[in-house]
Structure 1
Amino acid sequence: MTAFEGSASVVVGVENTDAARLAVLWAAGEADRRGLRLRLVHALDWPVGAEHDPDMSKPWETWSGIFRRSGQQTLEEAHALALGARPGLDITRLLVDGQPDAVIRGQATNAAMVVLGSRRLSSVKELTTAGSIAVPVVAHATCPVVVVRDPEHVEDDPGTVVVGVDGSRVSERAVAFAFEEASLRGATVLAVQVRPFIASPVVGAVNNAEEIVEGRIRLGETLAGWAEKYPDVPVRRQVVLGHPVHTLAQASEHALCVVVGTRGLGGFKGMLLGSVGHGLVQHAHCPVIVVPRERDDGD
């Protein structure tokens, strides 16, 4: 039994961009692996002033028809793309009025997971502009959110699912997802624990060695039992001194995906608390899967 058995669908945000098409293909593959329906969602975000054409040549009814036909065409093209990649997949299409982030957040409430294409905004724009979709969705979603920034790396056999481990309860949820994903794909799990690095040549030598030992202990505690639950999944462990985003981004260069947990609590504060996940959305070299906390999860 998978973690998402009984869930309605894998939701993917659809736009007329290469990034969104890459997300559709990834979502189709994931829905097929998990035996779930794929739900294609396009947000009909009306352009400012569309209802008041300057030369009055197109009344509001005409604008409405134009944008709706465009949205429907975008959905039809995404449907053909997904079905071409995964014949026989159960696919539904949905055209919804509203801003993309609000529409996708609404669709996430009854989804197995949400998949988005990366708009490759800068870190500042990702936090502050209306062009951002990933950050508000990741901060508020109650299901895993996948941001497909780059294609998965399939050159290795078996492939690798990277998971960031920090010992928290939400990190344990990320580990659970990573093992399930690796089992579905016939892949290896690379569990990475990142510990702080002390540069001082005097204090650092001792403290850094202690950090490595502590990291191995915590990694062992978090992974305990998962090898027994998923005997088909090989596991590699890595303890690294440094910054989590930089380390996991490096690990993502040859990975199918990288999985992390988020401590997002909603609103701007929540976005900042999920700094590792949001940093990876900017810098990872493969799809990033952000697993949310449960309401009662501690830090």
Structure 2
Amino acid sequence: MTAHVGATPIVVGVEHTDAGRLAVVWAADEAARRGLPLRLVHALDWPIGADRHPESNPHRLTWGERFRATGVRALDEARESVATRHPRLSTESVLADGPPVAALREHSRDAAMIVLGSRRLSTAAEMLTTGGIAVPIAAHATCPVVVVREPEHTSGEPPTIVVAVDGARHSEPAVAYAFDEAARRGATIVAVNVRQMSGGLLAGLRMREEMQEGRLRLAETLAGWTEKYPSVPVHREVAVGHPVAVLREAAEHALCLVVGSRGRGGFAGLLLGSVGQGLIHHARCPLVIVPTSADETSADHD
């Protein structure tokens, strides 16, 4: 599909791994659905001594040249796979100098969304890969950030998009994204409100009140969107438990899971929150983290 003139691109971080290739496929499919160009970005985070010649043979390639050649090869492979899958998709490749976080933040300024791969590693190990850079990028990005840990589940019937709804204003951008994506893909929205309750004698007495509060928050948040997208089926769920575990389970067979972040600036952990960080490492489908504007974030805390 030819991109619209002046359209903002979908940016995908390219790495020479299975996780990186999966992210490129997802990003290319999404760009084709939206009629947007695709920008492939590979960051060259130079190792120490990369510009030195091997002492044994000064005529051989320097480590820096080899390092750059590896990046070029990763971009060429990605571009070739995109061209095979979507021959008419407008695609550009960027070999950026510097750490991946800095490079992708720079490209997020004019992006429709950023797409990253995430390997199945321990949390500690993922901090050294794109799974690790997802946290600072998602916390500060001004556009949605998609972390592709596993393929989307296209065999579900009906296809579903799960969105986390907590009733606060910062849920609105995530809900907007979910409805727009569901309309594009003929999917059903599964809107989930998670209630966290401590144990004890009063837990049973509070259960009915908590469930009612959850249903109220869902109704209030979704009211305008169901009117705007009358053809999109909506299923509402109120669940009790830890948000990461509940949302991970709810989205096990989904096209994607959509959550909101609380704005940008400051400490990444405080902005993205423990739920967003937990889902980056444990979601069972592509995770979409949608930022809230600074104004909306301030209003939530007034």
Q: Same fold (TM over 0.5)?
A: yes
The equivalent residue for 2:136 is 136
Q: Letter of the 1:139 partner, please give it.
A: A
Tell me the CA shift for residue 63 of structure 1. Answer: 3.2
Alignment-derived partner of residue 66 in structure 2: 66
- CA deviation map 1:182-221 (0-9, x unaligned): 1111100000000112321x20111121000000001100
Label 1:9 to 1:211 Cα distance change in 2 as closer, same or farther (>3 A).
same
Contact preservation (8 Å) 1:198, 1:208: no
SS of corresponding position for 1:32: helix
Amino acid at match of 1:91: T
CA, structure 1 residues 6+209, in 2 after alignment: closer, same or farther (shift >3 Å)? farther
Aligned partners of 1:263 and 1:270 also within 8 Å: no
The residue type equivalent to 1:197 in the other structure is M
- Whether the 8 Å contact between 1:52 and 1:59 is mirrored in structure 2 is no
Could you tell me which amino acid in structure 1 is paired with residue 57 of structure 2?
Answer: S
Who is 1:93 aligned against?
A: 93
Percent identity (aligned):
55
Q: Is 2:54–2:60's contact at 8 Å kept on the other side of the alignment?
A: no
In structure 1, distance between residues paired with 2:52 and 2:60: 7
The equivalent residue for 2:248 is: 249
The question of whether the paired residues in 2 share the 8 Å contact of 1:7 and 1:110 is answered with: no
Look up the SS of the partner of 1:94 in the other structure: strand
2:161 maps to: 161
Of 287-296 and 226-235, more deviation after overlay is shown by 226-235
Shift of 1:58: 4.4
1:59, CA displacement in angstroms? 7.7
In structure 2, the partner of 1:233 is 232
- Using the TM superposition, give the Cα deviation of residue 234 of structure 1 relative to its aligned residue in structure 2, in angstroms: 0.5
Q: Distance in 2 between matches of 1:133 and 1:56?
A: 36
Amino acid at match of 1:177: Y
Question: 1:295 Cα shift?
Answer: 1.4
Gaps of 5+ in 2: none
**TM-score between the two structures when normalised by the length of structure 1:** 0.92
Query: 2:295 is paired with a residue of what secondary structure?
Result: coil
Alpha-carbon distance between aligned partners in 2 of 1:116 and 1:50, rounded to the nearest angstrom:
26
Query: 1:130–1:280: structure 2 CA closer, same or farther, 3 Å change rule?
Result: closer
Residues 73/130 of structure 1: CA separation in 2 closer, same or farther (3 Å cut): closer
- TM-superposed deviation, 1:123: 3.4
2:142, 2:264 within 8 Å by CA — same for their partners in 1? no
SS in 2 for 1:282: helix
Give the 3-state SS of the residue equivalent to 2:235 in structure 1: strand
Gaps of 5+ in 1: none
State how far apart, in whole Å, the 2-side matches of 1:130 and 1:119 are.
8
**1:146 has 2:146 as partner:** yes
Distance 2:58 2:232 in 1: 59
- State the one-letter code of the partner of 1:25: V
Is the CA contact (8 Å cut-off) linking 1:126 and 1:135 kept in structure 2? Answer: no
For the aligned residues, what is the CA RMSD?
2.1
Amino acid at match of 1:243: H
AA partner of residue 43 (structure 1):
A
For residues 135-176 of structure 1, the C-alpha deviation after alignment (integer angstroms, 9 at most, x for no partner) is 111111000000000000011233100000001111111000
**Is residue 270 from structure 1 mapped to residue 278 from structure 2 by the alignment?**
no
User: Match of 1:71, as an amino acid?
Assistant: G
Paired residue for 2:257? 258
Superposed displacement of residue 69, structure 1: 2.2
**For residues 125 and 69 of structure 2, what CA distance do their matches in structure 1 show?**
30
Match of 1:42 in 2: 42
- Asked if the contact 1:52–1:60 (Cα under 8 Å) also holds between the matched residues in 2, the reply is no
CA offset digits 1:233-277 (Å, max 9, x no partner): 10000000111111000012110000000115434x332442211
How far is the alpha carbon of 1:62 from its aligned partner? 3.2
Q: Secondary structure at the match of 1:101?
A: helix
Displacement of 1:124 in angstroms is 4.5
Verify: 1:215 aligned to 2:214, yes or no.
Answer: yes
Q: d(CA) in 1 for partners of 2:278 and 2:38?
A: 28
Alignment check: 8 A CA contact 1:198 1:207 kept: no
Give the Cα separation in 2 of the matches to 1:191 and 1:5: 34
Q: Where does 1:79-118 land on structure 2 (aligned, <5 Å)?
A: 79-118=79-118
Say which SS state the counterpart of residue 225 (structure 1) adopts.
Answer: helix
1:224 Cα deviation after fit: 0.6
Name the CA distance, whole Å, in 2 between partners of 1:49 and 1:68: 14
- Between 1:151-160 and 1:180-189, the stretch displaced more is 151-160
Alignment of 1:9-20 (within 5 A): 9-20=9-20
Where do residues 182-193 of structure 1 align in structure 2 (5 Å cutoff)?
A: 182-193=182-193
Match of 1:196 in 2: 196
